[in-house]
């Protein structure tokens, strides 16, 4: 939230700034060009489509976080990652709205990897990312990212 005032200690004047959390998500492609989308198994976005991904841990690169989150959510390994872009987002959890910067990548699912719904994933769906309506996605940042992917690859 640009221009937000920090919390300032009245005794020592220490200022605590509320910086956004960072997440990494991926448009995960298989050889036929279809992309893996998860159907979210929890709020926010319960039952909506999303990219696999999650929050970046301290000391972790976004690329490493995406690889870890994809293993945790759908049990696959990724080949080369390409950075697509970033967008601010919000994530409402237990009555608190967190400000997030979502970093989105495009990646290929490694040969021999078979995805399955695991942590927080209700189901896995395969869609043509050039034909899927971005409005079907759970988060505004993912809607933006899918639209960006479509513009770069000849659709939308």
Residue pLDDT, tens place only, 122-145? 999 999 999 999 999 999 999 999
Q: What is the domain count for the chain?
A: 1
Q: What is the pLDDT of residues 16-33, one digit of tens each?
A: 888 899 999 999 999 999
Give domain status of residue 12, yes or no: no
Residue 3 lies in a domain: no
C-alpha distance from residue 40 to each of 44, 78, 139, 141 (Å) = 8, 20, 11, 15
Structural domain includes residue 133: yes
Please write the tens of the pLDDT for every residue from 41-80.
988 888 999 999 999 999 999 999 999 999 999 999 999 8
Residue 11 domain flag: no
pLDDT in tens, 92-124: 888 888 899 999 999 999 988 899 999 889 999
Inter-residue contact 75 to 114 (CB < 8 Å) = yes
Query: What CA–CA distance (Å, rounded) separates 72 from 121?
Result: 10
Residues spanned by the domain of 117: 19-152
Total-model pTM: 0.89
User: For residue 123, what is the domain's CATH number?
Assistant: 3.90.79.10
């Amino acid at each position: 939230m640009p221009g937000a005032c920090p919390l300032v200690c009245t005794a020592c004047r220490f200022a605590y700034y509320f910086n956004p959390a960072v997440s990494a998500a991926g448009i995960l492609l298989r050889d036929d060009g279809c992309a893996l989308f998860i159907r979210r198994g929890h709020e926010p976005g319960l039952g909506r489509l999303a990219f696999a991904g999650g929050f970046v841990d301290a000391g972790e690169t976004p690329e490493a976080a995406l690889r870890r989150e994809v293993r945790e959510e759908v049990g696959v390994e990724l080949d080369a990652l390409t950075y697509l872009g970033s967008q601010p987002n919000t994530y409402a959890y237990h009555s608190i709205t967190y400000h997030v910067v979502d970093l989105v990548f495009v990646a290929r699912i490694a040969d021999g990897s078979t995805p399955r719904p695991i942590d927080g994933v209700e189901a896995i769906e395969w869609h043509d990312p050039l034909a899927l309506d971005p409005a079907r996605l759970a988060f505004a940042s993912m809607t933006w990212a899918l639209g960006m992917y479509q513009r770069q690859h000849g659709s939308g």
